[in-house]
Amino acid sequence: MIIASLSPYTHHIDDVIQHPLVDALRLNTSIPVKNSKTDLLMSLKEKCASKRLWLDLKTRQLRIVNISYYPQTRITLNHSITSKIPFDIYYRDISTRVIDIENDNILILASQPEVMPEVGESLNILDTSLKVDCYLTENDLEYIEAAKKCGIHNYMLSFVEDENDLRELINYDSKASIIAKIESQKGLAFVKKAFPINYQRVRLMAARNDLFVHLGVKKIEIITALRIIIKKDPQAIVASQILPSIEKEEGVSMSDLSDLLLLKILGYKHFLLNDSMCSRSEVFNNAMEVWNEFMQQVKKHEDALRRKNSYKSSNKSE
């Protein structure tokens, strides 16, 4: 199954929704919208028709709302936080040191990094003392209310780390179906300890980008993390870094194909394509062509393997 990401401002949105390889759609709720959330969701629901529309709520994900440079470099976050000082922040493949927190949500940097993050960008803090002020944000709550008015009850929850995160959403929407995005060490510990839980409508997602960052220096543990998630939930979805080479060139890299094959071998059957891949028509179409060819090759291999095993079994019985 493929879940494609939607932007309200994508000119080829109908092509993405109606593509035969796309089974469901995801709306990134961090994208600012001009019209009311209710009007947006009603329009998308009509366009998606029988295909399921998921709202990706950002919850405790840390995002940058402002950057200032004088007298010191300051980054304002969307959440109030507490943490031991100093600590490092991570964005893209860059890290920089924070020496103080002002007004609970303004990070004061030790120095201005050579490559600054951008307003709206997410960042990660790995310090185990980190505490974020709340789970569901005001924007999340507005989307939940709008979704209920439209008869939509499908949510992806970022940075799920304990059962209270799930319960908080269910308290606002008792009909909620949830995809719990596992993006941190705490989230992975929750999966190992508590999943599956008592809620019937909860699935897991291995959100590899942030999860890879939160593994710290032990990056090799991403393989173990992926195994744990798919073992706990055989219907788990995998996201992030799916065919990224196609976004930069017309062809696909060997490492991307090898990555897809590894995910298939681990047992993943459900994949989420990110915003940037789905927002450009030519990139999206190239990805779908590669995906189709890849799946045909996998099917040929699996069919050949079944025939071989069937032949061996029949010979043994004789």
**DSSP string of 183-238, one letter each residue:** -SHHHHHHHHHH-S-S-TTEEEEEEHHHHHHHTTT-GGGHHHHHHHHHHH-TT-EE
pLDDT the model gives residue 249: 79
Tell which CATH classification among 3.40.1550.10, 3.20.20.60, 3.40.309.10, 3.30.2130.10 matches the domain 2-59+136-281: 3.20.20.60
pLDDT the model gives residue 318: 60
pLDDT the model gives residue 315: 67
CA-closest candidate to residue 54, choices 205, 227, 199, 209: 205
pLDDT the model gives residue 158: 97
pLDDT the model gives residue 225: 97
- Domain segments of the chain: what residues? 2-59+136-281, 62-132
**Chain mean position to CA 159:** 9
Whole-angstrom distance, CA of residue 66 vs CA of residue 290: 39
**Chain mean position to CA 279:** 16
Whole-angstrom distance, CA of residue 315 vs CA of residue 253: 41
Q: Find out whether 64 and 98 touch, Cβ atoms under 8 Å.
A: no
Whole-angstrom distance, CA of residue 56 vs CA of residue 181: 9
pLDDT the model gives residue 9: 84
Whole-angstrom distance, CA of residue 32 vs CA of residue 304: 49
pLDDT in tens, the chain (318 residues): 999 999 888 889 999 999 999 999 999 999 888 889 999 999 999 999 999 999 999 999 999 999 998 888 999 999 999 999 999 999 988 999 999 999 999 999 999 988 999 999 999 999 999 999 999 999 999 999 999 999 999 999 999 999 999 999 999 999 999 999 999 999 999 999 988 877 778 999 999 999 999 999 899 999 999 999 999 999 999 999 999 999 987 789 999 999 999 999 999 999 999 999 999 999 999 999 999 999 999 888 888 878 877 766 666 666
DSSP assignments along 143-191, one per residue: HHHHHHHHT--EEEETT--SHHHHHHHHHH-TT-EEEEEE-SHHHHHHH
